[in-house]
Amino acid sequence: MTDTFCTSCGTKMDGSAFCTQCGASQTAPAGAPVHDATVIAPPPANANNKPALISLILGLVCIIAWLIPILGVVLSTTAIGLATKGLKSEKKGMAIAGMILGVLFLIASIINWVAGVAMAF
């Protein structure tokens, strides 16, 4: 059996409800809050997931934006830039997806731009 000690003065208890040294009650009164020993860890310092999420959203918007080359280039490069910041967050997968979409549609936007210029002549 494990030894118990008074919660007020630290004297070794003999199993009674009151401490023989200081007289403090060793049972919680009715309705007293019960404290859980669960420790909640603070969020990690790199928990800023916004760049990864915005990168993915911009990458998805680029699926249509590449048809207007200037808009496609701007949105694609923004998605790539935010994806590089998002790689350091918890949502690394979203950042990678945003980067892949950004690169693919940046290439498509540039090809569309070059084709549009070539057709003008």
On whether residue 40 sits in a domain, the answer given is no
Determine contact, residues 75/65, Cβ cutoff 8 Å: yes
Based on the domain organization, do 62 and 104 belong to the same domain?
A: yes
How confident is the prediction for the chain on average, in pLDDT? 84
Q: What are the pLDDT digits (tens) for 66-121?
A: 999 999 999 999 999 999 999 988 889 999 999 999 999 999 999 999 999 999 87
Based on the domain organization, do 23 and 63 belong to the same domain?
A: no
How confident is the model over 43-48, as a mean pLDDT? 61
Based on the domain organization, do 54 and 21 belong to the same domain?
A: no
Domain limits at 18?
1-27
pLDDT given for residue 45 in this prediction: 56
On whether residue 60 sits in a domain, the answer given is yes
Determine phi and psi for 5, rounding to 5 degrees: -130, 155
Based on the domain organization, do 76 and 111 belong to the same domain?
A: yes
Q: What are the pLDDT digits (tens) for 6-41?
A: 777 777 777 777 777 787 777 765 555 555 556 666
In the block, tokens 């990678």 appear at 96
If one counts the domains in the chain, the total is: 2
Based on the domain organization, do 23 and 56 belong to the same domain?
A: no
